[in-house]
Chain A
Amino acid sequence: MKNRSLVSINDLSKEEIFKVLDLAEEFEKNPSQKIMDGKVVATLFFEPSTRTRLSFESAVNRLGGRIIGFSEASSTSVSKGESLKDTILTVANYSDLIVMRHPVEGSARFASEVSPVPIINAGDGANQHPTQTMLDLYSIRKTQGTLNNQKIVMVGDLKYGRTVHSLLMAMSQFNASFVFIAPKELQMPQEYKMFLKDAGLKFEEHTDLAENIKDADIVYMTRVQKERFSDPMDYEKVKNAYILRNHMLEGTKENMRVLHPLPRVNEINIDVDDSNKAYYFTQALNGVYARMAIMASILGLK
């Protein structure tokens, strides 16, 4: 991975994924290693994403690197009409690595082609967010002991949710089976179902949550957003159907864990938080280790 950009999780081979996960594990054991001393990381957030930005910045800080950047585009030359290419070529002069979040899809791939320094995609619109996928994989492996043969239940907005799409693609390399639980407006797109069919992997589709999580290894929750519905009535009808509550966890596998990319609004009731099956906040912590591992690999420090 040295000197390579990370734009999509699909850019990484199975071996490279394992390498990053192993390295993240090492950072979890020993999070303060000043191996990025003297390195400058630029965090260019053309749209705000506080969580992702803080996670990256925490990772850089723990490794002893320095950070420059911006957290929204309105205060930068982008608002004066500067092209993405010019911004990237300029910032590349000031940094060893660029972490970029941009609302336009494919912007990260384009940036990686013009940039003389590696780019880490921290989300390009609805397209890719590979470091999120990496921390999801890390969380699954850590809680289940393996990535192989997992039964993954995905809940909520499966149509627009880029995290579930990327996770599906990544887990398909490990003989996963899937259960999709979504309102009919927000079901998993056909292209992903075709992909699973072609790969010979099992999946089921349901609209009911409580009934279908009993034999899950991972329940991956996402937020059902009101804005996704053309008719607000349709939203009102389904909004309570996809809320995970503590009593639903009865009879689920002992080792099952609930994941969520956060921010949560109400799709996981707070009474789940005290369950030992709630894993979403630890999952966010894992994001720091995963990002440390990715940056250290790209900078060739590990």
Chain B
Amino acid sequence: MNDKKHLSVSAIQNGTVIDHIPAQNLFKVISILGLDKIPNLITFGTNLESQRLGKKAIVKIADKYFEREEINRIAIVAPHAKLNIIKDYVVVEKMLVEVPDEIKGIVKCVNPKCITNFENVTPKFKVADKKNVSLKCHYCEKITDQEHMEYR
């Protein structure tokens, strides 16, 4: 698909490349990692062909490296994401996202009658299903599934 004269997303010298993001969740990843609030140079491409995901997105963040905990926060929207850590144009490390056992903040509880939607209470979930990612609310005990996930 790629025209040889044209790179879909240009390479970075130092930083992190996050690949295999489902295209429809690209902006969720950006928001969860707070990429819309940092001064770094960021390039992204979306709706790229992917055998696994149909349409995928890729984000390249210059001069930025993530802690494991930080990166696992995107697991709910991009469970198959792969990270390449780039130093001087070379991939020095690869990381896979792991779905954590617990999720705090990030997602809103789907239950409109849940205390987290009434008072100043940070939503907290146990991950009930790691594969399809469904979350059980620590407070109201209702399940929020992938389809109904809203982000705070």
Contacts and interface: CB of A to CB of B under 8 A. Distances in A.
Taking chain B's interface residues, is the majority helix, strand, or loop, or is none over half, making it mixed?
loop
Interface residues of B, number: 17
Interface string B94-137: 00000000000000010101111011110000000000000001
A84 interface: yes
Interface residues of A, number: 17
Interface stretch (A15-23, A53-61, A104-112): A104-112
Contacts of B115: 84, 104-107, 109-110
A104 B139 CA distance: 10
A46 to B, nearest CB: 11
Given A84-B115, A105-B115, A128 B120 contact: no
A106 B143 contact: no
B55 interface: no
A85 B119 contact: yes
A110 B111 contact: no
B140 A106 contact: yes
A191 interface: yes
Given A84-B119, A110-B119, A104 B113 contact: yes
A83 interface: yes
A69 interface: no
A8 B141 contact: yes
Contacts of A83: 119-120
Which 8 A-B residue pairings sit nearest by Cβ, starting from the closest?
Answer: A106-B139, A106-B140, A105-B140, A106-B115, A107-B115, A109-B139, A105-B113, A110-B115
Interface of A: 8, 83-85, 103-107, 109-110, 124-128, 191
Interface of B: 109, 111, 113-116, 118-121, 137-143
